[in-house]
Structure 1
Amino acid sequence: MKAIVKACSLVLSLGFLLSACSEKDIPGYENDPRMFFQIPGSGNIAVRDSLMYSFPAHPKVIEADTLWFNACIMGNATPYDREIGIKINTEKTTAVEGVNFKIASKVLPANAFKVRIPIVIYKTGLKDKSVRLQLEVQDSKDFKIGYNRYNKAIFIWGDKYLKPDIWDISNYKNAFGTFSETKYAFILNACGITDLPDQADIVMLGYYNAAVRKAISEYNASHAIPLKDEFGMDIIIGPWSGVGGVG
């Protein structure tokens, strides 16, 4: 019986000690708020490394358009706006701020965990050429740099048909062969699209492959000279079964 009383007394004593410790007596831990960037992907690709934009693929755009990326936080939302630190990597950028582009906003709104950042890009002065912009997360009064893997966002645009950077190592080449600007323009126009689908979507690429081959056949049947690219070579696209995969 004495042993039971002693055990109960010990439990009560521990209870009093624990209850005596209030929240303010226990040091809390909060990570520093951090920021990272993401360019939304499409199809099976949730996030992409870079974004390419060809003005000729958007004939209704006369002077400027807007590209977007997400600025996301690691940490808690706050009831007030916060400043997003954005640095232009000048060594890896050819675009000129105020001439080729402007960053329209650098603010994370109150109570938000992410925000879409608009980059207005301009067409003037880019005929038959392109420019590159590499943005990187920069420490600000509100945020430190987050994931190293997602600390940059790269954009390439121009008043010409730009070759997708993964063309030669993806199903784009399997479906359409060697890249040329003329071929790419014809593909987009024949399919009524402004950008190719995710290269992993072999069903859609197979559909577009067939549509483009039909369009080339119809063009050649109605013209004395077959469809040629900018190098003077006939544009020929063979049937594709979807077999081959990336690479």
Structure 2
Amino acid sequence: MTDTPTGSGAAVRALDVRKSFRTGADQSLAAVDGVSVRIEPGRAVSLTGPSGSGKSTLLHMLGAIERPDSGSIHVGDAEITALSRRRLAAYRRGIGIVFQRFHLLPALSALDNVIAPVLPVRTDFDKRARARELLEVVGLGGREAALPSKLSGGQQQRVAIARALINDPALLLADEPTGNLDSRTGAAVVELLLNLRAERGMTMVIATHDPGLADDCDEQIRLRDGRLLDG
């Protein structure tokens, strides 16, 4: 058994997952309250709901950025809620995560930003060659040397997507990937993400306020006040 999802797409299963955050000395807020979901391999699924509904918290738990207070999460063959800290780090390296604010390193070129997640680890592929290939795939061939400050918001998000693909993940998570983009650029990023999913067969889970993006996914998981909405 491996802690890193393998194959073209990873199955995802969350069972009665709960996560609360302290809001005061004697108060807490249930961000995710008893959520159970099952996502089949290779599906593109959106997490939707108003601000504070729990969609980003659920996504972060799938990515092992947050640990649930209770419940279990399985991704591929791994029960990530039972992994040690060291094995969780290995799991995170094996999935792809795209954030709303890009999180590019400002002093690094586009190419080096793509390489950054695998820089400290051994790989069975040429890191620079794969990074160049991925920048070409996301439409940034020839911009390898550009710093983030010289790229538009849409281009920076494309670099972030290429970075998320560097390990050929079976699971790609995206947290409001169009939230900082204008509608036209956002639509182009949506098209890119869904085309990549179709080509590579990976499972994709996207937290979004964008109804167009949600509608373009295979299915929607709707949340409100930390709970699933039926229908």
The alignment's TM-score, normalised by the length of structure 1, stands at 0.28
- Quick check: which one's helix share is greater? 2
The alignment's TM-score, normalised by the length of structure 2, stands at 0.29
Q: Which has the larger radius of gyration?
A: 1
